[in-house]
Amino acid sequence: MKELRTFITHRLVKSEDLNHHGTLFAGRTAEWFIESGFISATEKVRPEHLICLKIHGLHFTRPARIGDVICFSSKVVLAGTTSLTTYTKMFKRDNPDEVMVDGFTTFIHVNRHTTPSAHGIVIKPQTPEDKKLNEEAKLLKK
């Protein structure tokens, strides 16, 4: 089996993205964070069948500033009966080893009436990192 597929999205931090401290506004970060997780989840199910249920923490460790090119790396790490949980981390394009923000997001698979419906997806993590993220995501459900 192969590693869980990772999706990378890029953003340029512009003046309209900043807070009163001159760093990337947490609300804008959350928007991009959810969008990145959503994109990775759409590898498994069609976009019209996904809704965001919950962000499980958004842990900020470093600020982003105007002109930074930031990347969001996301992958599906856990599948429930109707849910998909993604792990997303943010880093500067020129420094991928320094995580600036990370966390998990859970999306629910729904039918055309927006009622939760089973998706039939099974996630089998293979790498040590994927296994660790899968276990962390399971703990979020408790």
Could you tell me what percent of the chain has a pLDDT over 70?
A: 98
CA neighbours closer than 13 Å in the CB half-sphere of residue 96: 8
Q: Binning pLDDT at 50, 70 and 90, where does residue 57 land?
A: confident
Give the 3-state secondary structure of residue 54. strand
- Across the range 60-81, mean pLDDT stands at 97
Average pLDDT over residues 98-120: 96
Distances (CA, A) of 47 to 26, 62, 89: 25, 31, 21
Structure confidence at residue 74 (pLDDT): 97
Return the domain boundaries, the chain. 7-140
- Summarised one tens digit per residue, pLDDT across range 17-31 is 999 999 999 999 999
Average pLDDT over residues 130-138: 96
Tell me the fold of 7-140: Thiol Ester Dehydrase; Chain A (3.10.129)
- Summarize the confidence of residues 115-139 as an average pLDDT: 95
CB–CB of 78/86 below 8 Å?
no
